[in-house]
Structure 1
């Protein structure tokens, strides 16, 4: 019995040991699996870290710097100006920026370069003479740090007609006039300006060295000379854009310009000794206008007898001895204002009899001996104002009889003016101002205007008689 019990106990112990072994074995397996998972996770983290480190490593993405350029050929006319732009040498890089430098050039000193932009400029202008050099060569380095490329440069020089001066020139002394004249130019593509320096020690006195000039593409301007007396030397000039003769105190004779053709405008101002404008007799039209002012020795407008039209205005002003405008007898159209003012010896406007169109104003002011304005009788309307002011000898305005429509009628300070019969045909005026006319006592010339529903401004006072609109409508228009 005892032996059987011992056997049973032994069997139970064996079963227990087996169970414990299974449990322990299962725990080991679990721990192994956990360890495997931990090891795998650690490997993943390490791999990720390694990959990240690899990306941050500059050696793994090192950029190779490259520079690009190309050979270039440029073309330039001979006789350029100093620092004139020739062209640009190409240069690029894939990282940062490039700089440019000249490696060689033949002849030496022909060009310079902007180190940042690659722009080439003329250096020594004397090199660019076709008769001496037909081309210029060189090499330019384009670099970024230690990396560089070369560009071969060829500059071809064009031969130009050397009796043509390209551009404009201003000559300010006799020395400059003579030096320029040595070139024997036939044409100047721009302006020719003769403008003396103030208080010059070498004033312009002689233009004979310019006698080869025939054409000026821009303006001929003769300004402020102090001793020049004639324009001899300019005899061959045939064409100019504008002719300006301004403030020349001793110029008497401009006949050297006889037959000159002017396309745009003429301005002859403040030349106290000029006596004739006959040089302009071939001109029929002007794109711009005419200004004749301050020429105290001028007695007529001889030279404008063939002028038919202007694109802008006509100004005849402050010419002390001008006594007629007969030579404007061909003028039919003025594209701007007609201003005849400050001519104390002008007697009448005969010569303007063919004038039909004025696009802007008509101003007659400070012509103290102007007796009549009958030369304007063919004007019917214009887009501006009619001003007659300080014309002391004017007794009537009969020359305005053709007018039917203007913007404003203004009559001031005409001491001898007695009636307004000359505006009897006016039917449309925006404003009327008639003031300080000591002898004016007859306003009946305004009756037609007032009867056409006049609604503009009306200023009438300080005349010998000063009727209201109502007075004129009621036939109380004269004293």
Structure 2
């Protein structure tokens, strides 16, 4: 009987061992394989704030499946800005204004697994400061105190202010919202521009018209000291409704400078400067209009009238009297109107008077007792005087020019001068009242009176003109309302220029012809017995 074969052990044992080795290898393989380590969870990036150049982002937490700590890296425009940070916020600075950006945040686990979250944003435009407005503008004659609301910068930067008056910068980089605008003129409208600016130069403008006060001082004003002049000048008045008087008679005065009251343009009443002994100059005055008399007298420190170059109108008398050291009057060439008399009186050291070339309206012109006056060359624009031309006791006067456009005069008095002729009256045709020529020892002829045709109601009088020998020049005088007086002209021997006038002469009173070199009657003159 053949025995039944049995399984060999080794064979069993080898199979079992092989399975065991395969299991162990499989287990070992599973213990070292990372392919099953999970990646960080999804998360979102939030743009928290955007400004002109700064942006802040944050993101939600990303979780690791294995519970490991996650770190984060931040990229913007593919450039890494932060690597493996633990916090979940990041701020970008110094970006470009009004620009689009893209970026991403990477969540990292310790095994190098990653999750990416994208983000994008646009930086804002840098906006100018907000609109603002004037709260208060408080004017005086010479200033405006202005305040305004704050201009807010949308980006939160500090706003400063520049101020312009009539397009001229007067203040810059102000941090306050108020400013006192000074050195203005009264009764004037100014254009104010306030420029609010941020730190990069964006601006917002506020434009407004502001007006100073009218500058009118009500009533009379007396200024006798320099302090009074200075204090009043600081107020910036341009008009005085009453009188302006500067009078140092019997009081203390120390006035030397009138420039502080330069703003005064109009004095409705009179303007007197009298007995101001310390005043050596009128420079600085800005007076243009005087409603009544303008008088400068007894100011021994003045040697000229510089400072009256702006004077245009005096509706009373323009009087310059007894200023003992005054030597020159010139430059008063803006004066157009004198309502009454121009009177230059008793200025004993006055030598020359020139100018007044725009004066076209004046009633009378008087020069009296200016003993050193040698020359008058003025008034070239005057064509008529309804009052007097009175040149009396100007004992050194040799030159009279400038009045050769005057055609008519109310009365003429030329007395006690050194004039040699009357050529300055070459346009004179009518004298309304007396024509009186007296004590002019140097007068040699009257040829300059050739255009004189009429003395309406006054007398024709020549007294004590010791160098005058002839009346040649009066041939055209054909009307005489008064009488003739020729007395004491010790060399006068020729009256023939009056022959035609005497033909039908009917004097209002008895003529006087005596103490001349020849003394004819009016009949003699009419009949041609007029000279010897």
TM-score in terms of structure 1 length: 0.61
Retained in 2: the 8 A contact 1:196–1:204?
no
Q: Show the 5 A alignment for 1:71-82.
A: none
Provide the rounded CA distance (Å) in 2 between the counterparts of 1:181 and 1:372: 49
2:354 alignment counterpart? 302
The 3-state SS of whatever aligns with 2:454 is coil
Structure with the bigger percentage of strand: 2
2:454 alignment counterpart? 405
1:361 to 411, 416, 432: 411
1:214 alignment counterpart? 265
Provide the rounded CA distance (Å) in 2 between the counterparts of 1:420 and 1:349: 20
1:186 to 238, 255, 258: 238
Q: Show the 5 A alignment for 1:47-196.
A: 161=213, 163-196=215-248
1:385 alignment counterpart? 434
Provide the rounded CA distance (Å) in 2 between the counterparts of 1:223 and 1:453: 50
1:15 alignment counterpart? none
Provide the rounded CA distance (Å) in 2 between the counterparts of 1:455 and 1:214: 52
Select between 450-459 and 440-449 the one with higher mean Cα deviation.
Answer: 450-459
2:527 alignment counterpart? 474
2:197 alignment counterpart? none
Report deviation, 1:420.
Answer: 1.3
Retained in 2: the 8 A contact 1:301–1:328?
no
The 3-state SS of whatever aligns with 1:411 is strand
Report deviation, 1:432.
Answer: 0.6
1:372 alignment counterpart? 421
1:335 to 380, 386, 395: 386
2:477 alignment counterpart? 426
The 3-state SS of whatever aligns with 2:513 is strand
Provide the rounded CA distance (Å) in 2 between the counterparts of 1:418 and 1:186: 57
1:351 alignment counterpart? 402
Retained in 2: the 8 A contact 1:324–1:347?
yes
Task: Tell me whether 1:283 sits opposite 2:343 in the alignment.
Answer: no
**CA deviation string 1:54-95 (max 9, x = no partner):** xxxxxxxxxxxxxxxxxxxxxxxxxxxxxxxxxxxxxxxxxx
Provide the rounded CA distance (Å) in 2 between the counterparts of 1:280 and 1:376: 22
Inter-CA distance 423–232: structure 2 relative to 1 (3 Å threshold): closer
Report deviation, 1:175.
Answer: 4.8
Provide the rounded CA distance (Å) in 1 between the counterparts of 2:263 and 2:505: 66
Report deviation, 1:412.
Answer: 0.3
Report deviation, 1:387.
Answer: 0.4
Provide the rounded CA distance (Å) in 2 between the counterparts of 1:324 and 1:448: 35
Retained in 2: the 8 A contact 1:348–1:373?
no
Provide the rounded CA distance (Å) in 2 between the counterparts of 1:170 and 1:363: 37
Inter-CA distance 279–220: structure 2 relative to 1 (3 Å threshold): farther
Task: Tell me whether 1:459 sits opposite 2:512 in the alignment.
Answer: yes
Inter-CA distance 459–270: structure 2 relative to 1 (3 Å threshold): same
Q: How many correspondences in the alignment?
A: 315
The 3-state SS of whatever aligns with 1:472 is helix
Provide the rounded CA distance (Å) in 2 between the counterparts of 1:183 and 1:384: 50
Provide the rounded CA distance (Å) in 2 between the counterparts of 1:331 and 1:247: 28
**CA deviation string 1:393-428 (max 9, x = no partner):** 101222222222212101001111101122222222
2:311 alignment counterpart? 260
Provide the rounded CA distance (Å) in 2 between the counterparts of 1:470 and 1:335: 33
Task: Tell me whether 1:243 sits opposite 2:294 in the alignment.
Answer: yes
Report deviation, 1:182.
Answer: 4.8
Which structure has the bigger radius of gyration?
2
Inter-CA distance 455–277: structure 2 relative to 1 (3 Å threshold): closer
The 3-state SS of whatever aligns with 1:460 is strand
Task: Tell me whether 1:224 sits opposite 2:262 in the alignment.
Answer: no
**CA deviation string 1:4-23 (max 9, x = no partner):** xxxxxxxxxxxxxxxxxxxx
Retained in 1: the 8 A contact 2:294–2:314?
no
**CA deviation string 1:284-322 (max 9, x = no partner):** 333223112223443332231222231x21112222333
Retained in 1: the 8 A contact 2:490–2:517?
yes
Provide the rounded CA distance (Å) in 2 between the counterparts of 1:348 and 1:210: 37
Structure 1 unpaired stretches of 5+: 1-159
**CA deviation string 1:179-222 (max 9, x = no partner):** 54454433212221100132x34443333442443332222210
Inter-CA distance 309–211: structure 2 relative to 1 (3 Å threshold): closer
Structure with the bigger percentage of helix: 1
Report deviation, 1:281.
Answer: 0.3
The 3-state SS of whatever aligns with 1:259 is coil
The 3-state SS of whatever aligns with 2:237 is coil
Structure 2 unpaired stretches of 5+: 1-211
Retained in 2: the 8 A contact 1:408–1:431?
yes
Inter-CA distance 328–176: structure 2 relative to 1 (3 Å threshold): same
Provide the rounded CA distance (Å) in 1 between the counterparts of 2:479 and 2:223: 53
